[in-house]
Amino acid sequence: ISVGWDGTLYDCDFNQMLDLPVDHGVLAHIRDFDPAQLHYRQIVTRNHCFGCTAGSGSSCSGTTA
């Protein structure tokens, strides 16, 4: 989760830079944060997501533990 300066929630920092907030079925502002609702959301993905999944997992350099 990434939080914008205005409180908008994003699935990751790349989505934040592309202005792709969390799925519209979930309230997309930190003031409305609900862990249960956020847990079951559909994560917003686009072609840029392949950069994180290439190799052995997520993060810019490969696997995270």
Could you tell me the residue ranges of all domains in the chain?
2-53
> What pTM was estimated for this model as a whole?
0.73
Q: List the pLDDT tens digit at each of the 65 positions of the chain.
A: 899 999 999 988 889 999 999 886 667 889 988 888 878 888 888 888 777 766 555 555 555 54
H or E stretch covering 10: strand 9-10
From CA 16, how far away is CA 21, in angstroms rounded? 7
